[in-house]
Amino acid sequence: MCELPSNSSRPMFVIIMALLLSVLFITLILCPTIPLGVVGEWVLERKHVPIKRCIPAIIGIVLFIIVTWRCAIKAPTTRCEFVSAFIALSIASLFVRFFVQFIEPTERYPMAYAAYTAVSPIATSYFIAARNAEREGWLNVIRNYDDFMRHQPVHAATHPPGTLLLYSMIRAATRSSHLLQDIAYAAIGGKETLTFHIMAVHNLFGIHVEPWELAAAFISSQLMLLLGALALPFIILGLIALTYTRSDGPDESTDKSELWWAASLISFIYSTSPGQLAYVASPDQMLTFVSAVGFACICIWAYTKQAKLMLILVGSLSFIGLFCSFKFAPVVLMWALLLIAETIKPANRDRSLKALHDIAIVLGWFAMPMFLLSLFLLIAFGFDWLGTFNTAMHAHNIQAVSSVRTYWKWVIVNLIEFGFSIGPVLTASLKACIWCAVSSRAKSVGERMLILCVAIIILMDILGIVRGEVSRIWLPFMPPLVIGIAANKCFHRLKHLRTSFTLLSLSQAATAICVRAFVDAVRAW
């Protein structure tokens, strides 16, 4: 265990900082004169939701705290107890995500807002772009995708076709399933309200949708919500694998009570982070899920060092992530660097040829699925990766970088917004955990993961690749950040303060509810 010479690494410091940050964040949200962004370039709008609309979410969060507290104080000792706790945390997370959708200013049909957002050409645009692709024919679209994306709105103009394909599959499944349609109709207010909703969509966006399309929009939003919740089990799985892994092999002496305490608390912290709840039904949740599965696979591989299947899975997930969005590239880079770091074993560091040989084998297994799948797309469908990338970057620069957003302002605001997005607990814990990782020379897999994650985020910020909206765009970095912090010994030390669980949970929950109730993060129109 690393020595902690600084007061900033003590558990009480983390708790005090989390409480202060929570007060600061809530003050910023409630003060209407403070802009949430850069005026004249990009600013988060404010909204006001009556407290009664927050009640379902508050009840869900209270129940989640009870579940996590129960799991935290009694570490599972049998496989049955472990599976039960695993399922309980995942279901509680899903319920909270579902209930926060009711925190909307609209008095009538709050669940319909999710469908409106999915249809909106401003909020996402993937749904409408998928419909356009269906009309032109997917084979033709894939073959000429760089030309197709030039004529699509906002987000769809800057991304590869993966997300559009997913939305198209959801549309097809909903169109052919009366059960899915009935579920969606019931959720948004019943069949008798369909005419009202169709007229509302037309008035808001100038788009005509069929009833089944409205149902498909709602189903797509709930699928994204579900994927965000399903990321949690993989985060816990990765944390467990990391906690039992040291630089010289598996560590079976790990305190299970500390491990499960950290897993329980971090489950709540992740699920109620302001960024997660603000974009609870965003397509970015799909990338967060892919990220969580990939990091879990790497953690399992680090534990076994033999599972080539894990490397193939991570490579396949890299392809899926990049096929859906080019902003997933930094995550793929982080995976590659982690694999290299874990391949250079202490015994081989003085044997350069052996180390290079091992790295080549690991990266070969990692890159093979990406190469083969890309080759298949090129031969079978004529998909042009390079042309798509150039078109996407050109559209991205026009929309959000060089033309309208000032570099030096966003270098500062991005980091503030990201700290705001991950919430007061993770922001307060980050300094202590980074200090711990650096002072121990990053001996553990979790420490290297945390340092790499922070380094890549800072590098992207300095390069000015992203200017604004990082609370949504950097959601895929939540899994490694959460795993790295939860696996850190500094975070485990919070367990020894009896009030830490309650104080940290409440500070995170209060911030998340305020963000959802007073910040209009997703603009449907």
**Does 444 share its domain with 402?**
yes
Q: Strand, coil or helix: what is 41?
A: coil
**Does 198 share its domain with 237?**
no
- Which residues contact residue 260 at a Cβ distance below 8 angstroms, ignoring those fewer than 6 apart? 71, 72, 75, 76, 85
- Tens digit of each residue's pLDDT (9 = 90 or more) over 258-283: 778 888 889 999 999 999 999 998 99
**For the chain, how many structural domains are there in total?**
2
- Which residues contact residue 317 at a Cβ distance below 8 angstroms, ignoring those fewer than 6 apart? 290, 293, 294, 297
* Contact assessment for residue 177 and residue 139, using Cβ atoms and an 8 Å cutoff: no
- In b/e form, how buried is each residue of 104-122, taking b as 16+ CB within 10 angstroms? beeeebbbbbbbbbbbbbe
**Does 210 share its domain with 240?**
no
- Tens digit of each residue's pLDDT (9 = 90 or more) over 310-331: 999 999 999 999 999 999 999 9
- Tens digit of each residue's pLDDT (9 = 90 or more) over 483-511: 999 988 888 788 776 678 888 889 999 99
Instruction: With respect to residue 93, please indicate whether it lies within any of the assigned structural domains.
Output: no
Instruction: With respect to residue 88, please indicate whether it lies within any of the assigned structural domains.
Output: no
**Does 290 share its domain with 413?**
yes
Is the model's pLDDT at 3 over the cut of 50?
A: no
Based on its alpha-carbon atoms, the radius of gyration of the chain, rounded to whole angstroms, reads 23
In 423-469, which residue ranges form alpha helices assigned H by DSSP?
A: 424-439, 445-463
pLDDT grade for 462, boundaries at 50, 70 and 90:
very high
**Does 209 share its domain with 280?**
no
Is the model's pLDDT at 465 over the cut of 90?
A: no
Q: Which residue matches tokens 């467990």?
A: 240
Alpha-carbon span 6 to 493, nearest angstrom: 14
69-83, 287-301, 367-381 — which is least confidently predicted? 69-83
Q: Strand, coil or helix: what is 45?
A: strand
The per-residue pLDDT for 7 is 45
User: What does DSSP say about strands 249-250 and 245-246: parallel, antiparallel, or unpaired?
Assistant: antiparallel
Is the model's pLDDT at 138 over the cut of 70?
A: yes
The per-residue pLDDT for 250 is 44
Is the model's pLDDT at 340 over the cut of 70?
A: yes
**Does 206 share its domain with 254?**
no
Instruction: With respect to residue 294, please indicate whether it lies within any of the assigned structural domains.
Output: yes
Q: Which of 217, 251, 277 is the last residue of a domain?
A: 217
**Does 244 share its domain with 195?**
no
pLDDT grade for 5, boundaries at 50, 70 and 90:
very low
Residue ranges making up the domain that contains 246: 7-44+231-520
**Does 384 share its domain with 410?**
yes
Mean pLDDT (whole number) for 20-28: 93
Alpha-carbon span 369 to 320, nearest angstrom: 10
Mean pLDDT (whole number) for 105-127: 82
Q: How far is CA 291 from CA 74, 285, 331, in A?
A: 29, 10, 7
* Contact assessment for residue 277 and residue 516, using Cβ atoms and an 8 Å cutoff: yes
The residue length of the chain stands at 525
* Contact assessment for residue 314 and residue 298, using Cβ atoms and an 8 Å cutoff: yes
* Contact assessment for residue 302 and residue 342, using Cβ atoms and an 8 Å cutoff: yes
* Contact assessment for residue 227 and residue 288, using Cβ atoms and an 8 Å cutoff: yes
Alpha-carbon span 211 to 279, nearest angstrom: 25
In three-state form (DSSP H/G/I as H, E/B as E, the rest C), the secondary structure along 210-223 is CHHHHHHHHHHHHH
Instruction: With respect to residue 100, please indicate whether it lies within any of the assigned structural domains.
Output: no
Instruction: With respect to residue 107, please indicate whether it lies within any of the assigned structural domains.
Output: no
* Contact assessment for residue 501 and residue 265, using Cβ atoms and an 8 Å cutoff: yes
Alpha-carbon span 511 to 519, nearest angstrom: 11
Containing 373, the helix (H) or strand (E) segment is: helix 352-381
**Does 212 share its domain with 248?**
no
Q: Strand, coil or helix: what is 159?
A: coil
Q: Which of 217, 241, 270 is the last residue of a domain?
A: 217
Instruction: With respect to residue 333, please indicate whether it lies within any of the assigned structural domains.
Output: yes
Alpha-carbon span 447 to 441, nearest angstrom: 9
Q: List the helix and strand counts (H, then E) for the chain.
A: 25, 5
By CB atoms closer than 10 A (0-12, 13-18, 19+), residue 41 is: middle
Alpha-carbon span 392 to 448, nearest angstrom: 32
pLDDT grade for 401, boundaries at 50, 70 and 90:
low
Instruction: With respect to residue 473, please indicate whether it lies within any of the assigned structural domains.
Output: yes
The per-residue pLDDT for 86 is 84
**Does 316 share its domain with 236?**
yes
In 144-210, which residue ranges form alpha helices assigned H by DSSP?
A: 145-149, 162-176, 178-187, 194-205
Instruction: With respect to residue 156, please indicate whether it lies within any of the assigned structural domains.
Output: yes
Q: Which of 217, 245, 280 is the last residue of a domain?
A: 217
**Does 131 share its domain with 185?**
yes
**Does 448 share its domain with 329?**
yes
- Tens digit of each residue's pLDDT (9 = 90 or more) over 29-54: 998 888 888 888 888 888 888 888 88
